[in-house]
Amino acid sequence: MGKTGPSKGAYKTEEAQPYLERLRVLRARLVGDATHLADGALNRTGREAAGDLSKMPIHMADIGSDNYEQEFSLDLLAAEQATLAEVDSALARIESGEYGACVECGHRIKKSRLNAIPYTHYCIDCATKRDEESRG
């Protein structure tokens, strides 16, 4: 919405504290997962990961499997990085006093939703509306 200053729907600092801790733990896990996925996808083939370091030719199907696994890992990495960006955004909203307020309507996001998705930007009504608009 582009508001300046705390939103009326935002949680007070002490109310946001449990989410701050959860977001920090989630962020640390995502960074570790992303690093592991990047190392696996970009640095080693399936044969190398299995310990086969020989230079003997391999079957074309093995190359296809390696390529598929690498592409799958890169897709997972992209998803992890997108979630990491959402977590960083939520941490910034806590810092600015905007956490817990829907960025669309400004109303308070219910704690049950934040417990499920602590990095969400939207209340359930606005999220549902956005989802319907993107499908139709």
Residues 46, 71: contact at Cβ < 8 Å?
A: no
Q: What is the DSSP string of 50-106?
A: TT--------HHHHHHHHHHHHHHHHHHHHHHHHHHHHHHHHHHHHHT-TTB-TTT-
Residues 16, 94: contact at Cβ < 8 Å?
A: yes
Number of domains in the chain: 1
Q: Which residue has the tokens 């109303």?
A: 107
The tens-digit pLDDT sequence of the chain (136 residues) is: 444 445 688 999 899 999 999 999 999 999 887 777 777 666 655 455 555 555 555 666 666 677 777 788 778 888 889 999 999 999 999 999 999 999 999 999 999 999 999 999 999 999 999 999 999 7
pLDDT for res 114 = 97
Q: Specify if 112 maps to a domain.
A: no
Q: What is the pTM of this model?
A: 0.71
Residue 42 CB neighbours (<10 A): 11
pLDDT for res 59 = 64
pLDDT for res 95 = 95
Q: Specify if 74 maps to a domain.
A: yes
Q: Specify if 109 maps to a domain.
A: no
Give the domain extent around 80: 13-100
Q: Specify if 52 maps to a domain.
A: yes
pLDDT for res 1 = 42
Q: Specify if 32 maps to a domain.
A: yes
Q: Specify if 42 maps to a domain.
A: yes
pLDDT for res 2 = 43
